[in-house]
Amino acid sequence: MTFEQRAEQLLSQMSLEEKINQLCSQMLYSVGDGYEENRAHTRQNFRNPGHFMHYEKDVATPFAVAERINRDVQLSMDAQPHGIPPIEHGEALHGAQWGMATCFPQPIGMASTFDEELVGQIGDAIGKECAAVGVRQVLSPVVNIARDPRWGRTIETFGEDVLLSCQMGAAICRGLQQNGVIATPKHYADNYAHGGRDSHASDTSERTLREVYLKPFEACVKQGGALSLMAAYNSWDGIPCSMNKHLLTDILRDEWRFDGFVVSDYGGVGGVSYAHSLTDDPERSLGCCLQAGLDIELPDSTPEQFYLALEKGYMQEEDIDRAVLRVLTAKFRIGLMDAPLVDPALAGETVRCEAHKALALKAARRSMVLLKNEGLLPLCKTKIKKLAVFGAGADVLPVGQNYSGPYRRDWTAPDGKTPLAYLRDYLSPDTQVIFAEDDRMEEVAAQCDVALYFTAMVEGEGMDRADIRLPSVIQAKQEDDHAIIVGKKSFEIKADQEESIRKMTAANPHSAVILLGGSPVDVSAWEDGCAAILEAWYPGEQGARALTEILFGEICPSGKLPITFPRSAGQLPLFYAAKPSGRGYGYVDNDGSPRYPFGYGLSYTQFALGTPTLSTDGNTLTVSLSVKNTGAFDGAEVVLVYLSGRHGEVVLPRMELKAYKRVEIPQNGEVSLSLSLPSDAFCYYGRTLQYGMHDADYTLSVGTSCKDIAATAELSVREGRIIIP
């Protein structure tokens, strides 16, 4: 029998009560005394208790978490006639968030690697560390396109580019699901609005929605095999995403043939009433959402709500059957029905094993982007006798506070080190590392050989920013349970960071700034005085080691920007793949160009791209070229291939990434590359929103950023075939 046939057979044997419980959920914050009495074990969707086991106690071991989840699952199975195991879910943005699992770079850093194979390995490791303790669904990845860094959740995304977000999102999904863990791409669909405001009403046209914001979700479904999706809080086209039939049924199921289940964002169904004011009856909201294509309301929903909705005629039993069939099919597909319990003894062998920590280090090394270097880097370990270290980010684990660590607990590990701690261990005892508050900036910086400033940011879910400069005031955390679930806290930033950096560089010209954050910042007020700027993002648990290795030249920086750095907030939104202006791009005070463009990133070595040659069979274009390392270091380069379209049915973007490849090349080495652009690279939505290879002329550009172009070529599409002149 197929998975769906097994699900249909089981569904036919279930009572209405059992079916309703398949769609009900629960989250309890306390896993202490009284937990099991308060747990409604007949419900079938739980926020896993492992997330809450560490608060005001010793950190729970993977063994203890696995035992607790096993008991949760067993009690739930014992509480209903057919013994169906529940789905225990959690977060996994850049590591399994049920406890102190391996902590990888935040997704914006993953995207900077331009290495979806590596990101797929990260997804596999996260999947293994979730499955090891019994977490079988994760509410990730975030595949919203981030084109305004004022949005606080930019940190969670893969940046501004459609292709990059598609590839990274699909890779994460594949990695998770090959371990029997359901991936849940979010937030479907267009999750922020003008000014980077989270969850505000979207007035994005259907054309733009399809061209940009839906594509990563489609890739996660079709290429990544995602078995779930999370509906966003916001409304699109006047209808909340949780009850938007056009999104949840017409596009997702009828067009993309998605056969998994859809969950709400936490409280999203209730938001139809209290946020959007679309209904005055919570049961009506539930019925509207279920009929539109939503299946499960998270994190809390009760059977009573369903019975009332049925009684009032807001839904029918067939609506419940349809949703339950999707959920049961997914449970069979991931193997949950056949092996619902885990072996706790194996959890400790899997979680933060040496292989996963090595993977976290590899990802951290590849994620960092060198933005500026006027001969300061790499530093010479033997020549520095005094090193000055400043900034609120210097003595904090560089994991980022967004979705890092369990309930009300920062991520921690005995071997986790801050940048300051790692620098002190790395440098010889003869080197003095002086860590000072900013009020001693000029005094300390002047007496040292080199000065480093580690910045701090306040950002994340519910923390949108009107100002993209480095924060300079204390920003309090928002005290609510949902905020605490995702780990929303704030640094106590005591100094004006921009002023501190200016003082440091004035006192010591051998100064570098290490940006620790999850989104672009305005560097205009202090950049000129810096000899070097390294964008480290939040590089994860191994980040302190990786950035030290880069600063001292043991690793050559190779990360590339997955998002544009503007000159100021006034340019926003600013992204490279914009459509042509009817008049111009500049402002009174600047030409509208970015400070650092998409794809930008310096190295300690140099690369030369050979002249590309093009070939096609009419359906696929192949771009072949050589890349040579002409510098003094082993290194890695990312080759980017763009298309600029014109003379089509509709206006096309000025430039779009269509292929990329990261290659490792030793000093004086040379490699030959072939990059394929499938027919889909030449497809777009025509005047009637018909998707296909419509006629157009194209300029193909090959380079190392959207501004650093080594070669161009002309080609066209006619009658569905690629033509090279």
Q: What are the tens digits of pLDDT across the range 281-339?
A: 999 999 999 999 999 999 999 999 999 999 999 999 999 999 999 999 999 999 999 99
Maximum CA pair distance of the chain? 79
First to last CA, the chain: 53
Structure confidence by residue, pLDDT tens digits, 209-242: 999 999 999 999 999 999 999 999 999 999 999 9
CB within 8 Å of 33: residues ≥ 6 apart: none
Cβ neighbours of 668 (radius 10 Å): 12
Q: pLDDT > 90: what percent of the chain?
A: 92
Query: ∠ at Cα 87 (83, 93), nearest 5°?
Result: 165
Instruction: Report pLDDT for 99.
Output: 93
> Residue 296 carries which DSSP code?
B
Distance of alpha carbon 208 from its chain centroid, rounded?
21
Average pLDDT value over all residues in the chain: 95
Q: What is the pLDDT of residues 104-162, one digit of tens each?
A: 999 999 999 999 999 999 999 999 999 999 999 999 999 999 999 999 999 999 999 99
Rounded to an integer, what distance in angstroms lies between the CA atom of residue 478 and that of residue 671? 51
Residue-level pLDDT at 478:
47
Residues 562 and 519: their CA atoms lie apart, in Å, by 10
For residue 628, count CB atoms less than 10 angstroms from its CB and return exposed for 0-12, middle for 13-18, buried for 19 or more. middle
Specify the DSSP class assigned to residue 46.
E
388 CB contacts (<8 Å, ≥6 apart)?
Answer: 434, 436, 444, 445, 447, 448, 450, 451, 452, 504, 508
Closest to 186 (Cα-Cα) out of 149, 135, 221? 221
Kindly report whether the peptide bond that precedes residue 647 is cis, defined as omega within 30 degrees of 0.
Answer: no
Per-residue pLDDT, 98: 95
Q: What residues are paired with 309 via a beta bridge?
A: none
Q: In which band, very low, low, confident or very high, does the pLDDT at 484 lie, cut at 50, 70 and 90?
A: low
CA distance 451 to 445: 6
The domains of the chain, with CATH numbers, are 3-350 (3.20.20.300), 368-571 (3.40.50.1700), 607-723 (2.60.40.10)
- For residue 315, which of 305, 326, 325, 330 has the smallest C-alpha distance? 305
**412: Cβ contacts below 8 Å, ≥ 6 apart:** 59, 100, 397, 405
pLDDT for res 494:
73
pLDDT at 476 over 50: no
pLDDT score at 720: 95
Average pLDDT over residues 383-410: 93
Spatial separation of the C-alpha atoms in residues 186 and 228, rounded to whole Å: 9
Q: pLDDT tens, 53-87?
A: 998 778 999 999 999 999 999 999 999 999 999 99
Phi, then psi, of 221 in degrees rounded to 5: -75, -50
Burial of 649 by CB count in 10 Å (0-12 exposed, 13-18 middle, 19+ buried)? middle
Taking the C-alpha atoms of residue 131 and residue 108, their distance in angstroms, rounded to an integer, is: 25
Check pLDDT > 50 for residue 269.
Answer: yes
Mind giving me the DSSP string for 558-622? Answer: ----SS-B-SSGGG-S--TTPPPPSS----SSS-S--SB-TT--B-SS-EEEPPPEEEE-SS-EE
For 182, the 3-state DSSP assignment is strand
Handedness of CA 128, 129, 134, 140 (dihedral sign): negative
Is the pTM for the entire model greater than 0.95? Answer: yes
Distance CA 258, CA 545 (A): 42
Nearest to 629 by CA among 676, 671, 678, 578: 671
